[in-house]
Amino acid sequence: MDNRIVLDKEALAGEFISLVTPDSLSYKEREVTDLLKEKLLELGFIVTEDDAAAKIGGNAGNVYAFLPGDLPGDPILFTGHTDTVAPGTGKKAVRHPDGRITSDGSTILGADDFAGITEILGGIRAVIRAGIPRRDIEILFSPAEEVYTVGASVMDYSRVRAKEAYCLDLSGHIGTAAVQAPSLVSYSVTVKGKGAHAGFEPEKGIHAIAVAAEAIASLRQGHIDEETTLNIGTIEGGTQINAVPALCRVTGEARGFDHEKVLTAAESVRKAFEAAAEKVGAEIKYEQSVHLHTYRNGEDEPVVRHFRKACESLGIPSKLQVTFGGSDVNQYILHGIRGLVISSGMFGTHTTSEYCCEQDLYDGAQLVAELACMRTEEL
């Protein structure tokens, strides 16, 4: 890294706390979105927000920002998401003497994904202040990522010029990157039976919950092979204890590294429910949604080579791994943008034990700065 770049660990921690403090549950990111737009404008970015809010039923859209640079070549894209999971209302960040930052234990912290956003802002700010030549920089902050990346799914990617994206949205210490992610299909099955009095004439009914139970029992769940999982996530039905339930609804998901296998796994659910329903004359309604398409980055791709080179320049060990979780990168790949999900130093995500470390915020900002200034033609 150029020795003119100066990062302030105290300032990074303060900015992180300022970003996690507002409530920003999925579909309700307005306050933090406005804050981020102000910060980007202060850095000199051209900033726009799209109409994703209207499309997904939220109150904030995708924030896209562009900052021209001095170096030749395509722009570089840095991305993160503005929403958090529950419990995420009334978050209070607590700094500890050992450098950890946690919540007060009653909510998640919000390091997912405000650690990554803090590092993006901090790294780029340091580069600008140092006056070092940089690439054209694009930024995309998306809403509602935690609910199957719906914000990024409605983005107009014709506006994005970059072919190389770094999504700071992975757990672990800085230097970790995920080169493979799964396809994900969710489904719902509604069983329509026939109501009847459970005491006087149960034989006149068709027990919708029993149909669902038989179908579920016939399915193999969990790892159905080494790269595919299937899960029944919720089941609800019936209206009262003395009535044969006429309706039952079941939801779940399938995910894996082979898209066709994932579709086949979801199809097995439909077939199992149809078979169970046919035995007793029930009906079913099956619906599914494809949320994510699997991808894998080769180690020779520029986005991977540049990441590893930047880590090497900073003396940070790099580690490539696979993840069974999705991210906005699953959407970028569909639009010709080769993305890499990289760690922002968050741990215990989606729990009230979530935390990040001040040193990781510093290292992550360093990595962003290094990537922004990298002369890719030299690789």
Which residues are catalytic, by number? 83, 145
Element (H, E) at 271: helix 259-280
DSSP letters of 151-192?
A: HHHT--GGG---SEEEEEEEESSTTEEEEEE-EEEEEEEEEE
- Map residue 40 onto helix, strand or coil: helix
| Cα–Cα distance, 54 to 38 (Å, whole number) | 22
Beta bridge partners of 249: 190, 236
Q: Which residues contact 246 (CB under 8 A, 6 or more apart)?
A: 192, 193, 194, 195, 205, 206, 208
Measured CA distances, 115 to 1, 18, 157, 299, 349 (Å): 21, 11, 25, 26, 11
- Map residue 338 onto helix, strand or coil: strand
Measured CA distances, 229 to 98, 147, 172, 233, 261 (Å): 39, 19, 23, 12, 10
| Cα–Cα distance, 191 to 176 (Å, whole number) | 44
Nearest Cα to Cα of residue 69 among 1, 123, 127, 140: 127
Residue 191 backbone dihedrals phi, psi, to 5 degrees: -100, 125
Residue 260: both structure tokens together:
């066709």
